[in-house]
Copies of this chain bind each other. A is one copy, B any other.
Amino acid sequence: MRIGELAERTGLSTKALRYYESIGVLPEPARTRSGYREYSTEVEDVVRFVRSAQAVGLTLGEIREIVAYRYRGEVPCAHVVDLIRRRATAIDEQIAALEQTRTELRRLERRARSLRPEDCAPTLVCHVIPRR
């Protein structure tokens, strides 16, 4: 299978596939005599795994670690569970931060309704957003 076909079957661009290879997420495939990449069918599973892992928020760096276990012939399960847990924690923190910002924004929006533009002092730039 050449790179164009793999791209079509996985819904990725050839650019992305070559990029994954360059950062060690995909293994280096065999080459034809003229230098074309020649993929085995198994690599398709790896590519799909990469997409699935990205979909749950893992970075390509983390994914590279996971597939590295496979390339070494080891089972990555424990490492993956650890990554999942840490990602979940990170997302919890992100959500908390965003919720705080959202609360602040809603507060500002409410407050803005009671402010008159004429009262806005130029030195404050905008009195809708209060100085900390």
Contacts and interface: CB of A to CB of B under 8 A. Distances in A.
A76 B118 CA distance: 11
Interface in A42-60: 42, 45-46, 48-49, 51-53, 55-57
Interface in A98-132: 98-99, 101-102, 104-106, 108-109, 112, 115, 117-118, 120, 122-132
Contact of A126 (B77, B125, B128): B77
Given A46-B125, A98-B98, 17 more contacts: A45-B125, A45-B131, A48-B131, A51-B132, A52-B129, A56-B108, A66-B125, A75-B117, A75-B118, A77-B115, A77-B120, A84-B112, A88-B105, A91-B101, A92-B102, A95-B98, A95-B102
